[in-house]
Amino acid sequence: MVVAACSGSAEPLVPDPGCAHVVEASIVPTGASYRVTATISSADTGWDKYADTWVVRTPDGFVLRRVELAHPHTNEQPFTRTLTAVTIRPGEDVVEIAARDSIEGFCGEIVVLDVPRSVDL
């Protein structure tokens, strides 16, 4: 499910082209932790403006893991990155994947994922 920030009106939301957007994400259990993959689209122009961070967080904003992106991706759009060993607290049923632009901050589309639980056989 893709979710964007609330605008307070019945108008459909139009993503801000200056923001970093999570366009796709997945979560896979790997034993006691999870592997999270995010595909991010951003209006990178170089070192002056680029997607510099993505996070796995709970709906109340608690950041479970943060990834600092070390460089712009001006010639690689969208780009996909994977994070391993993500620990999710018991009782958390969903997580949000969000990306931050170095100028605009966290303003783009996010992806909300149901947390799959491993079944012990």
Write the CATH number for 68: 2.60.40.2060
Domain of residue 21 covers 17-114
Q: Is residue 22 part of a domain?
A: yes
Report the alpha-carbon distance of residue 99 to residue 63 in Å, rounded: 12
Domain count within the chain: 1
Burial class (CB in 10 A: 0-12, 13-18, 19+), 35: middle
Report pLDDT for 118: 64
Report pLDDT for 112: 96
Report pLDDT for 57: 95
Q: Is residue 12 part of a domain?
A: no
Q: Give strand ranges (E) for 1-114.
A: 2-3, 21-30, 33-41, 51-57, 63-68, 79-86, 94-101, 110-114
Q: Is residue 87 part of a domain?
A: yes
Report pLDDT for 2: 38
Q: Is residue 110 part of a domain?
A: yes
Report pLDDT for 75: 76
pLDDT of the chain, 121 residues: tens digit per residue: 333 343 344 444 445 778 889 999 999 999 889 999 999 998 877 898 888 999 999 999 999 999 998 887 767 788 899 999 999 988 899 999 999 998 888 988 999 999 997 654 3
Q: Is residue 45 part of a domain?
A: yes
Q: Is residue 4 part of a domain?
A: no
Report the alpha-carbon distance of residue 4 to residue 14 in Å, rounded: 9
| Cα distances (Å, whole numbers) of residue 48 to 58, 97, 104 | 29, 24, 12
Q: Is residue 5 part of a domain?
A: no
